[in-house]
Amino acid sequence: MYESQDREGEAKVGKQTLARVAVFDYSVENFFAAMDSISALCGEACPETFPTSQMERFSSMIIFLKEWRHFCYESKILNFSYETESVRVNKFGEGINLPQFSSAAVPEMEPLPENLRSSCSNDFVLHAGGPVWALDWCPRADENLEDQFKCEYLAVAAHPPGSSYHKIGAPLLGRGLIQIWCILSMDKKEKLS
């Protein structure tokens, strides 16, 4: 049996998988190498170089890595919990340290009861910095539906360090940061029994 409960209804948990953390890399060269790897994995053609005219046009509008260091968010310690109708675990495992602009896969509990088991868990946590005040999927018109891996993008804007709220309609002064997160998903075609 999966669970054994004490008098307060908290479950004694068994084995769990470790949380996998993807730490943000500030290197421009590593960024382009990672994007080339993702493109190859998703079956997309990698351009040899970006056209110079595009780079010049975008460089005046977008500050790439130079200004990220001004957004110094504190690392977060993540503690995961698990809850169902019959089982409640307030905390399992040790907390993991998640630096700014990094992500972690939510650890899975093993073995889960049959009625809760899923074939694959894709849950993850993003450390976008402060409280998120804007979030949107970035549509892709050129996606190849035949590829096994799908690459999607998520645009996230968090409050700047030291700012905890945003008044709608009021202009903000100072630096802003819109993060573009690349999210890979595997297209699994599973048999239904």
The answer to the question of residue 13 being in a domain is no
The answer to the question of residue 117 being in a domain is yes
Q: What is the pLDDT of residues 17-38, one digit of tens each?
A: 566 788 887 776 777 788 788 7
pLDDT at position 93 is: 63
The answer to the question of residue 135 being in a domain is yes
pLDDT at position 114 is: 57
The answer to the question of residue 12 being in a domain is no
Those residues whose C-beta lies under 8 Å from the C-beta of residue 32, and which sit 6 or more positions away, are: none
pLDDT at position 10 is: 35
β strands within the chain, DSSP E: 21-22, 76-83, 88-98, 103-105, 124-126, 132-138, 149-158, 178-186
Whether residue 89 contacts residue 116, with contact meaning beta carbons closer than 8 Å, is answered with no
The answer to the question of residue 9 being in a domain is no
pLDDT at position 191 is: 37
The answer to the question of residue 89 being in a domain is yes
Residues 53-73 as b/e (b if ≥16 CB within 10 A, e otherwise) read eeeeeeeeeeeeeeeeeebeb
Place of tokens 């799908």: 150
pTM, two decimals, is 0.61
Query: Which residue segment(s) compose the domain that 103 sits in?
Result: 21-186
pLDDT at position 171 is: 74
Count structural domains, the chain: 1
pLDDT at position 81 is: 73
Instruction: Give me the tens of pLDDT residue by residue for the chain, a chain 193 residues long.
Output: 223 333 333 334 444 556 678 888 777 677 778 878 877 877 776 655 666 676 666 666 555 555 666 667 788 888 877 766 676 665 666 778 888 888 888 877 665 555 555 555 677 888 888 788 888 988 776 666 666 677 788 899 887 777 767 677 777 666 677 888 888 776 554 433 3
Those residues whose C-beta lies under 8 Å from the C-beta of residue 76, and which sit 6 or more positions away, are: 97, 98, 127
Question: Is 85 strand, coil or helix?
Answer: coil
- Checking 51-58 for CB contacts under 8 A at 24+ apart, the result is none
Whether residue 105 contacts residue 123, with contact meaning beta carbons closer than 8 Å, is answered with yes
pLDDT at position 121 is: 61
Radius of gyration from C-alpha coordinates of the chain: 21
The answer to the question of residue 178 being in a domain is yes
Joined tokens for residue 94: 């040790």
Sheet with 21-22: list strands edge to edge. 21-22, 103-105, 124-126
Cα–Cα distance for residue pair 139/143, rounded to 1 Å: 9
For the chain, what is the mean pLDDT? Answer: 68
The answer to the question of residue 62 being in a domain is yes
